[in-house]
Chain A
Amino acid sequence: MNTATDIRTMLCDAATRLFTHHVNPKMLDAAKHDGWSAALWKELKKAELPLVGVPEDFGGAGGSLSDAAAILRIAARHAAPVPLAETALAGWLLAGAGLQVPHETLTVGPVLDEKLTAVSDGTTWRVSGRLTRVPFARIAKQLVLLADSTQGVRVVAVDSNACRITPARNLASEPRDEVVLENVVALASAPAGAGVTRDSMHARGALLRAVQIGGALEHALHLACEYAKQRTQFGRKIAQFQAIQQELARCGGEVAAAVAAALSAAGVVERLSNDHSAGAEQQKLMAVATAKIRAADAAREAVAITHQVHGAIGVTDEYALHHVTLRALAWREEFGNEVYWSMKLGRAMLGSGAVDYWATLSAA
């Protein structure tokens, strides 16, 4: 009974207990100003959840990408205000480059098409550049960055205190900061691991955001169903109206599809992680693009429906719905929105042509 699935079930149960116990409305409200919850991070760290998916050899807790995705989905259901996805991405960059992963809040960059250069004087690597929309930069202890150097792309970790950080935020008030680096000394540096590029980091970011969107939408749907069962209008619970039922059912389909696509994609990316053949790269592209496209499409529909079912109460600051809906709407834009990924996937599928279309689609 100790299969990978059983272990994941135990992990998920533990994560659900932890988030249910520690995340509360006050914490989420405070996070709008503070950018996060240090107290929640402390609990996560104690449970070693931020290190799931990072190999033990590099200081992680072991486990797979799908294990990390399972936890991220649960965190997103609770709108957990912590850089969990970002730390997972940073851990992947570091471990891939053979570097140890610090047990701290981490984040990654560049997330947009911005230039970052690393220069060595023979003993020390220094990093320079200007980045925007870096998630949780002002919170993270270290920024783990992909920088160009004369020796190719390098993974460099820097102390966030050594950078000039100007706070900015996304729709849900999560930190998305501007970071200026001027010859910042790298705490660790190594050539990027096999298959680690700006593109593959972007793709992995998109995949994790898709997982998060799935979790956030699950909770939005849950809130809408509970509300519909309580709210009375015209002398009946609104859940009894077929018009409401049909919309909730449609929402259910969207949410189920988003979750199915994201978790499936995590499995494909994981299975093919060491295969960099053209065929495998196309499968990974299809999986990741699908995850983000489907999640973003679902966000559009599910956010609209869950708010509609809630009526005016859902748009207030005091009611919980916006914590998940605003996050889903913000996340759909990050690491490429559905149009970006659709165009990329569409070009690839048209490139391989009609004859191979079905074989490609059904390969994974």
Chain B
Amino acid sequence: MFFENIDFSSLELPPAALKLRDEVRAFLRQEIAAGSFVPHLGHAEFDIEFTKKVAARGWIGLTWPKQYGGQERSYLERFVMTEEMLAVAAPCAAHWFGDRQTGPSLLRYGSTFLKDKYLPAITRGEMAFALGMSEPGSGSDLASVRTRAEKVDGGWKVTGQKVWTSWAHKADAFFVLCRTAPLTEDRHAGLSQLVIEIKKSSGVTVRPIRFMNGNHHFNEVFLDNVFVPDSHVVGEVGQGWKQITSELALERSGPERFMTTFPLLVELVRRLGRSNDVRAHEMVGRLTARLWTLRRMSLAIALALDPSSGKQGSVDLATEAALVKDMGTFYEREIIDAARVLVVVEPTMDAADTFERYLAECIVSAPVSTIRGGTTQVLRTLIARRLLGPLK
């Protein structure tokens, strides 16, 4: 039904991943001790200095070929890296999208020119990428994007508007999903992905969209006749839909789908200490169990998608990834609910106490996780399709 041919009983981290984990933990302990970043929950922070330190250790593009600055390590090693960063809410936004999304897309579909130009820059922490997917009229229904590219001599002229573009005001470039051919009956045809350099191109305007607590990470990006050379088309013209949907299994199943409120759980455990409250015992036990389970499912997907597993391509885990994301994003809220029940405070964003601040940050950002990267309802529709097969 789900996870066919996945052997959960033999699932464990290989020695290389354990070794890397020790290194990442030592690095993060050192960074935290030095006070190099203040963790915030809800949205990963953009901190190019931190990204450069991670890059210097070779930890960006960990699984990529060496010729592009990667380490050719396994997906499980990347998994370990990611979860360690999430466990302490390290500020990874400056390399996050490049590492998880644009890099792998370029590796799979990009030309030699694009790979040479961008991948080493991402692994060195010199270029930050953003994602230009959503538009005012296109949220869950991404195939309805209206940003259009018109063919001109040597390239494309792009016009349109993107929204909810995280960190576009700091990123160097972004992937833009746009229509390169008029809409036909096949809505998924005629879409393409282009790389647009935000700072260097003329005609790009970035405006902040403030989050409801006043923070700025979202933007709207206006594209007004932006010239994009032919060399900056990712893969084949017209194949954009296939490209963005082919990477969904990894995008939706990672620990970032269930660990963004995890540091609050750790602070909760600290607050509770050796509490005699039986509710505390029960809730912490249950939260632990649910996280342990999500982690096993997420690990299983990472392992199966790893080229070395021999299973890559033979299993389609997009539905399982949807399951992990659906349950994971609700799990994040369960931590908030338990924290509120067990420790009675009035949370504020500027509390001096870490637990109270984390609680406030989590409460305010809670609505986002079940919307971004596939809404609950879209995911469940996808899951139901697997369960029910084609319906007349």
Contact = CB atoms under 8 A, between A and B. Distances in A.
Interface of A: 4-5, 8, 64, 66, 69, 218, 221-222, 225, 228-229, 237, 239-240, 242, 245-246, 248-250, 252-253, 255-257, 259-261, 263-264, 266-267, 270-271, 286-287, 289-290, 293-294, 297, 338-339, 341-347, 349-351, 353-354, 357-358, 361-362, 364
Nearest to A225: B387
B292 A290 contact: yes
Taking each of A261, A338, A343, A358, which has the highest tally of chain B beta carbons within 10 Å of its own beta carbon?
A358
A124 B180 CA distance: 88
Contact of B266 (A222, A248, A257, A357): A357
Contacts, number: 183
A305 to B, nearest CB: 12
A86 B285 CA distance: 27
Given A256-B323, A290-B288, A358-B87, A350 B272 contact: yes
7 contacts: A239-B388, A246-B384, A252-B1, A256-B2, A339-B282, A361-B288, A362-B83
A267 B11 contact: yes
B9 interface: yes
A17 to B, nearest CB: 18
A345 B289 contact: yes
B297 A346 contact: no
A342 B282 contact: yes
B327 interface: yes
Contacts of A294: 289-290, 293
A346 B266 contact: no
B112 interface: no
- Range, interface on chain B: 35 or more
A165 B390 CA distance: 53
A350 B269 contact: yes
Which secondary structure dominates where chain B touches chain A?
Answer: helix
Interface in B195-243: none
Contacts of B267: 354
B11 A264 contact: yes
A346 B286 contact: yes
B285 A289 contact: yes
B261 to A, nearest CB: 13
Contact of B285 (A218, A222, A264, A349): A349
Contacts of B386: 252
Nearest to A347: B281
Interface string B164-180: 00000000000000000
A361 B327 CA distance: 18
Contacts of B380: 245-246, 249-250
B26 to A, nearest CB: 13
B14 interface: no
A347 B269 CA distance: 11
A267 B9 contact: yes
B383 interface: yes
Contacts of B282: 339, 342-343, 346
Given A225-B387, A293-B285, A343-B282, A350 B274 contact: yes
A256 B1 CA distance: 8
Contacts of B274: 350-351
A109 B327 CA distance: 37
Taking each of B266, B282, B293, B300, which has the highest tally of chain A beta carbons within 10 Å of its own beta carbon?
B293
Nearest to A5: B7
B87 A263 contact: no
Contact of A271 (B12, B265, B326, B382): B12
B285 to A, nearest CB: 3
B250 interface: no
B366 interface: no
B170 to A, nearest CB: 29
A77 B49 CA distance: 54
A229 to B, nearest CB: 6
A221 B10 contact: no
Contacts of B27: none
Given A257-B327, A267-B9, A349-B284, A354 B293 contact: no
Contacts of B265: 357
B377 interface: yes
A260 B8 contact: yes
Contacts of B280: 346, 350
Nearest to B380: A249
Contacts of A339: 282
B285 A341 contact: yes
Given A342-B282, A354-B270, A364-B12, 6 more contacts: A239-B391, A249-B326, A264-B8, A343-B281, A354-B267, A358-B87
A261 B9 CA distance: 9
Given A261-B296, A293-B286, A350-B273, A248 B387 contact: yes
B181 interface: no
Contacts of A69: 9
Contact of A345 (B8, B285, B388, B391): B285
A344 B7 CA distance: 28
Contacts of B383: 248-249, 252-253
Contacts of B11: 264, 267
B78 interface: no
